[in-house]
Amino acid sequence: MPGRVRVGSVADLADGELHTVDADGTAIVVGQAGASLCAARNRCPHLGLSLTRGPGGLRYDDGTLVCPWHNSRFDLATGENLDWAPGFAGRDMPRWSRKLIALGRKPSGLTTYDVEVEGDDVYVRI
């Protein structure tokens, strides 16, 4: 059953960085995209790996998140997949090799969560 979980303060989370947060046992990421705070499950839809820890390192810029494993890009606000497994660990690979890197997985988006701000408190609906 969905619940509302406080995940931090605006002062801590709205700094342009991507934050990893435990929301009642669910690992999520919270970041600023434009003027809004957005949240998604910290699990890449490609192979289920962490979006914040991997050989390519954390890569996040104003709402666009790049998976540290095979470089899939996502829009944090909508969860939309913008590019699917184009490489490994921050390096792009030749176009012909993308199907190998994708390992038969079809492009899919992030699991996103609604974010609510009340005063300085940030809540996520899990």
Phi, psi at 6, each rounded to 5°: -75, 130
What is the closest distance, in whole angstroms, from the C-beta atom of residue 85 to ligand FES in the complex?
5
Beta pairing class for 91-92 and 18-23: unpaired
**Minimum CB distance to ligand FES smaller for 16 or for 55:** 55
**Minimum CB distance to ligand FES smaller for 32 or for 71:** 71
What is the closest distance, in whole angstroms, from the C-beta atom of residue 107 to ligand FES in the complex?
10
**Minimum CB distance to ligand FES smaller for 27 or for 47:** 47
What is the closest distance, in whole angstroms, from the C-beta atom of residue 58 to ligand FES in the complex?
13
Phi, psi at 64, each rounded to 5°: -110, 125
**Minimum CB distance to ligand FES smaller for 44 or for 122:** 44
Tokens of 74: 């996502």
Residues 96 and 84: their CA atoms lie apart, in Å, by 13
Sheet holding 115-118, edge to edge: 4-9, 121-125, 115-118
What is the closest distance, in whole angstroms, from the C-beta atom of residue 37 to ligand FES in the complex?
23
The binding site for ligand FES (CB under 6 A) comprises 44, 46-47, 49, 67, 69-70, 72, 85
Residues 28 and 51: their CA atoms lie apart, in Å, by 9
